[in-house]
Chain A
Amino acid sequence: MKTISLDGAMVPLAEGQTVMECALAANIPIPHLCYLPGFAPHGSCRLCTVKIDGRFASACTQPAMEGQHVEIDTEELRQVRLSLLRMLFVEGNHYCPACEKSGSCRLQKAAYDEGMLDLHYRPWYPNRQMDASHPDVLIDRDRCIFCELCVKASRDVDGKNIFGISGRGIDTRLVVNSKSGLLADTDISAQDRAVEVCPVGAILVKGRGFEVPIGKRLYD
């Protein structure tokens, strides 16, 4: 049987698996945001950064290979993850107490898990265009982390192809495939996988107000 070393533990690997898949199968946690089983790995958030034989790589995109030594839970990598989370927080507006997604937000959970206690960097306070045009679904772009899960889910699962990514650098933005650029002019529905799959509070279902009590939310 082929094996791979994850923080010293010898873990079996199957043909075609990524490092992330090996780790998940062996119940060894690697923090991640843009990766979601069932969707093609993306490798954009870099939270799953590990060191493979001394080199940085994103576990979700890296093919697992016999004999690799993978470092996951080291001080150096914890610092990298912490910095990446802080970067995601400062480039957007993530006010957890006022966010409907709080308690069920993967960014928030990752920050708690990694022990993030401050922003460290100066916050940018972006003011990106909000889209409240649709009766049931809302986009708050200031919370988007560009994981593209909604893009893939809408295209590949819902078959609607409603979302895309445009711009460059810090002007990267989530866009909507309609002539007006507004959600109202699409056939999105609150039940779409694209809505459900958003790891943060960027795509929200309207008409709800903190309906799950604190203590019973997904990550409480």
Chain B
Amino acid sequence: MTLAWDKKMACAAEHADLLIERMGNNPLQILIATQKAFNHVSDDAICRVASALGLPLSRILGDVEFYSFLSREPLGTYSVLMSDSITDWMLGSRELFLRLCGNLGVSPRVMRHDGLATVGKTSCTGMCDQGPALLVNGTAVANLSDDRIDAISRLMEKRIPLAAWPDEYFHVESNIRRRDWLFQDWRGPILEGEALLQEMTDAGLRGRGGAGYPTAKKWASCRDAPGGERHVVCNADEGEPGTFKDRVLLQHCAGRLFEGMALCARIIKAKKGFLYVRGEYRYLEAHLEALLAARRDADFEIELHWGAGAYICGEESALLESIEGKRGIPRVRPPFPVTFGVHGMPTVVDNVETFCAAAAIAAGGGREFRSLGTAESCGTKLLSVSGDCARPGIYEYSFGVSVDRILEDCGAGNVLAVQVGGAAGNCLDASEFGRKICFEDLPTSGSVMVFDRSRDMREAALNFSRFFAHESCGFCTPCRVGTEILAQAMEGISAGRGSGEDIAEIGNLGSILRASHCGLGQSANRAVLDMLRKFPEHFERGVN
């Protein structure tokens, strides 16, 4: 017994050293590989990684305890995380979760006595158009039903390796329902440098992540910033509940994405780029690795970095920290990434869709781009549509499209509410469906979630408030404590034991949360407040 154990530990240690040797000096990427190989990151592994990289133990421990996909405690042979987005709830994920726990005889988050499985929940996995979904050992399985849960349970009980599970379980649909400008095959002579910046300015390209900063201005600022080595970073950490367009772009347009990053690199004179993809999309690894390996560009290398279950890393400065292998705590700004980015060097951080659009403009799409959209919002926007509708999926529209039009196209009837912009966005009632998706009216990274009249908006408010409490990085007081107070108030109201004070408290938290360090805290009760104001009768049901 002892001998076998020693042998296993020696093997694990050797493996950890091997990982360190192979993966360079990035603690987070090493820890992700360690988690994958051993179903946890042991204290021994933490010490080894720290000493191998010459970093304090607390840096490594800090990573393990920050990222949800890393665990100090051993997880089962099968580690299952059920996607806990509101759209998953609406498709029955909570019932399926209980069914899976029942089938396997496990309690949530507790490894089964024989080490077979650990079953837990995770924030939105970006499969909202084909939910409910889960991750098993990091790989996505969508379209869950009672039958599929039962079948998966049987496969696990028989200890069938994932590689031998039916392929269809791992099939992810793209569901592109409406194609427009971005999906066209632009093949004109490629514009470069100053000419490209001018064309992007003329076309009016603004960042697609939601904030809408003029892209050419950002690239030019970075080019002109003092400093040595520059970097290009693509933010593919789309964690906003209800968003999945970057997943589809990574699947179908990764080549164009790399072109966009390379065009930027030539302008700012960067030799290195990073593609930071959320860990939930790990199933895309082989696809992305193959495309990266096939690139022929000796002057600009793109490195793939994986997230590990932290919504906050979608915030650009937290993402930079994460690329450096640290906990994803948003930085104090200014300085902004264009002057102080990866390792303190000037860096352009842009969204997947933005780089794709830049590449399409470079290849001749500029004139048409300019002709689409509204005065302040040129071009098109990919929307991720999910919830109560017949045809969930990706819709590309010119900016300025009305919510009504989207609802009609996706086959949504009897609609009560539409949540635009994810958990951090706005909740619209039927009187507002004439509003438009654009920077002037409803700026969004593209999440559109539809709720029909059978829904209780308390559920959405509960889901979102729990989400923020779980995803708060914990750095600043208002967000760390305020999101938890908000979630507790919503739990009371949802369980039917709320009070008028809870409702008042949710309102009061608004101004306090606005004092947060970053956008996560600042927008954490926006949707809940919208819902309270627009659907008070739903909340009154839970108040004594």
Determine if B61 and A166 form an interchain contact, defined as CB atoms under 8 angstroms apart: yes
* Interface check B65, CB cutoff 8 A: yes
Q: A121: which B residues are within 8 A, CB to CB?
A: 485
Which residue of chain A has its CB nearest to the CB of B478? A46
Q: A43-B517, A56-B514 are in contact. Are A165 and B476 (CB under 8 A)?
A: no
Which residue of chain B has its CB nearest to the CB of A48? B515
Measured CB to CB, the closest approach of chain B to A142, in angstroms, equals: 14
Q: A46-B476, A169-B472 are in contact. Are A164 and B512 (CB under 8 A)?
A: no
Determine if B59 and A169 form an interchain contact, defined as CB atoms under 8 angstroms apart: no
Interface digits, B481-496 against A, CB 8 Å rule (1 contact, 0 not)? 1111100100000000
Q: A165: which B residues are within 8 A, CB to CB?
A: 58, 62, 327
Determine if B511 and A175 form an interchain contact, defined as CB atoms under 8 angstroms apart: no
Distance of A7 Cα from B57 Cα, bound (Å) = 45
Q: B512: which A residues are within 8 A, CB to CB?
A: 80, 83-84, 87
Which residue of chain A has its CB nearest to the CB of B471? A169
Interface digits, B459-484 against A, CB 8 Å rule (1 contact, 0 not)? 00000000001111111111011111
Contact residue among B62, B332, B477 (Cβ-Cβ distance under 8 Å from A175): B62
Q: A87-B482, A164-B62, A169-B470 are in contact. Are A44 and B475 (CB under 8 A)?
A: yes
Q: A56-B515, A170-B484 are in contact. Are A88 and B477 (CB under 8 A)?
A: yes
Determine if B515 and A177 form an interchain contact, defined as CB atoms under 8 angstroms apart: no
Contact residue among B57, B476, B484, B511 (Cβ-Cβ distance under 8 Å from A44): B476
Determine if A164 and B481 form an interchain contact, defined as CB atoms under 8 angstroms apart: no
* Interface check B310, CB cutoff 8 A: yes
Q: B472: which A residues are within 8 A, CB to CB?
A: 168-170
* Interface check A58, CB cutoff 8 A: yes
Q: A46-B515, A84-B478, A171-B474 are in contact. Are A164 and B56 (CB under 8 A)?
A: yes
Interface digits, B186-207 against A, CB 8 Å rule (1 contact, 0 not)? 0000000000000000000000
Measured CB to CB, the closest approach of chain B to A71, in angstroms, equals: 13
Determine if B56 and A177 form an interchain contact, defined as CB atoms under 8 angstroms apart: yes
Which residue of chain B has its CB nearest to the CB of A122? B488
Interface positions, chain A 27-66, Cβ under 8 Å from B, are 41, 43-47, 49, 56, 58, 61, 63
Measured CB to CB, the closest approach of chain A to B39, in angstroms, equals: 20
* Interface check B66, CB cutoff 8 A: yes
Q: A179: which B residues are within 8 A, CB to CB?
A: 43, 47, 57
Determine if A44 and B327 form an interchain contact, defined as CB atoms under 8 angstroms apart: no
Determine if A91 and B57 form an interchain contact, defined as CB atoms under 8 angstroms apart: no
Q: B485: which A residues are within 8 A, CB to CB?
A: 87, 121
Q: A41-B332, A49-B515 are in contact. Are A84 and B57 (CB under 8 A)?
A: no
Determine if B517 and A58 form an interchain contact, defined as CB atoms under 8 angstroms apart: yes
Q: B339: which A residues are within 8 A, CB to CB?
A: none
Distance of A49 Cα from B472 Cα, bound (Å) = 19
Determine if B59 and A164 form an interchain contact, defined as CB atoms under 8 angstroms apart: yes
Which residue of chain A has its CB nearest to the CB of B514? A56
Q: B483: which A residues are within 8 A, CB to CB?
A: 169
Q: A56-B514, A84-B512 are in contact. Are A166 and B475 (CB under 8 A)?
A: no
Q: Is the interface of B mostly helix, strand, loop or mixed?
A: helix
Contact residue among A80, A146, A167 (Cβ-Cβ distance under 8 Å from B515): A80
Determine if B515 and A170 form an interchain contact, defined as CB atoms under 8 angstroms apart: no
Q: A46-B517, A168-B310, A170-B469 are in contact. Are A87 and B477 (CB under 8 A)?
A: yes
Q: A80-B512, A169-B484 are in contact. Are A146 and B474 (CB under 8 A)?
A: yes
Q: B484: which A residues are within 8 A, CB to CB?
A: 91, 169-170
Distance of A73 Cα from B477 Cα, bound (Å) = 20
* Interface check A102, CB cutoff 8 A: no
Q: A79: which B residues are within 8 A, CB to CB?
A: 511
Determine if B334 and A168 form an interchain contact, defined as CB atoms under 8 angstroms apart: no
Determine if A164 and B480 form an interchain contact, defined as CB atoms under 8 angstroms apart: no
* Interface check A90, CB cutoff 8 A: yes
Distance of A172 Cα from B312 Cα, bound (Å) = 15
Contact residue among B59, B480, B516 (Cβ-Cβ distance under 8 Å from A91): B480
Which residue of chain A has its CB nearest to the CB of B469? A169
* Interface check A153, CB cutoff 8 A: no
Contact residue among B47, B332, B480, B514 (Cβ-Cβ distance under 8 Å from A169): B480
Measured CB to CB, the closest approach of chain B to A161, in angstroms, equals: 6
Interface digits, B50-74 against A, CB 8 Å rule (1 contact, 0 not)? 0000001111011011101000000
Determine if A83 and B58 form an interchain contact, defined as CB atoms under 8 angstroms apart: no
Q: A170-B484, A177-B56 are in contact. Are A84 and B62 (CB under 8 A)?
A: no
Distance of A80 Cα from B483 Cα, bound (Å) = 15
Distance of A177 Cα from B55 Cα, bound (Å) = 10
Which residue of chain A has its CB nearest to the CB of B310? A168
Q: A43: which B residues are within 8 A, CB to CB?
A: 332, 476, 517
Contact residue among A87, A145, A164 (Cβ-Cβ distance under 8 Å from B478): A87
Which residue of chain B has its CB nearest to the CB of A86? B481
Determine if A170 and B58 form an interchain contact, defined as CB atoms under 8 angstroms apart: no
Determine if A61 and B65 form an interchain contact, defined as CB atoms under 8 angstroms apart: no
Q: A146: which B residues are within 8 A, CB to CB?
A: 474-475, 480
Interface digits, B24-66 against A, CB 8 Å rule (1 contact, 0 not)? 0000000000000000000100010000000011110110111
Determine if B511 and A168 form an interchain contact, defined as CB atoms under 8 angstroms apart: no
Q: A44-B477, A45-B477, A168-B310 are in contact. Are A163 and B58 (CB under 8 A)?
A: yes
Determine if A177 and B57 form an interchain contact, defined as CB atoms under 8 angstroms apart: yes
Determine if B58 and A176 form an interchain contact, defined as CB atoms under 8 angstroms apart: yes
Distance of A51 Cα from B526 Cα, bound (Å) = 20
Q: B66: which A residues are within 8 A, CB to CB?
A: 166-168
* Interface check A76, CB cutoff 8 A: yes
Q: B516: which A residues are within 8 A, CB to CB?
A: 46
Distance of A80 Cα from B512 Cα, bound (Å) = 5
Determine if A171 and B65 form an interchain contact, defined as CB atoms under 8 angstroms apart: yes
Determine if B476 and A88 form an interchain contact, defined as CB atoms under 8 angstroms apart: no
* Interface check A178, CB cutoff 8 A: yes
Measured CB to CB, the closest approach of chain A to B62, in angstroms, equals: 4
Distance of A177 Cα from B476 Cα, bound (Å) = 23
Determine if B474 and A170 form an interchain contact, defined as CB atoms under 8 angstroms apart: yes
Q: B2: which A residues are within 8 A, CB to CB?
A: none
* Interface check B454, CB cutoff 8 A: no
* Interface check B508, CB cutoff 8 A: yes
Determine if B61 and A76 form an interchain contact, defined as CB atoms under 8 angstroms apart: no
Determine if A169 and B473 form an interchain contact, defined as CB atoms under 8 angstroms apart: yes
Q: A61-B332, A80-B512 are in contact. Are A169 and B58 (CB under 8 A)?
A: no
Distance of A162 Cα from B480 Cα, bound (Å) = 24
Determine if A168 and B327 form an interchain contact, defined as CB atoms under 8 angstroms apart: yes
Q: B327: which A residues are within 8 A, CB to CB?
A: 165-166, 168
Q: A166-B62, A167-B65, A179-B47 are in contact. Are A172 and B56 (CB under 8 A)?
A: no
> Contact residues of B with A, CB < 8 Å?
43, 47, 56-59, 61-62, 64-66, 68, 310, 327, 332, 334, 469-478, 480-485, 488, 508, 511-512, 514-517
A-B contacts, 6 listed (Cβ < 8 Å): A56-B515, A84-B512, A168-B474, A171-B65, A176-B58, A178-B57
A91-B480, A161-B56, A169-B483 are known contacts; what are 6 more A-B pairs with Cβ within 8 Å?
A: A44-B476, A61-B332, A145-B477, A164-B58, A165-B58, A172-B475
3 interchain residue pairs of minimum CB distance: A164-B58, A172-B474, A87-B481
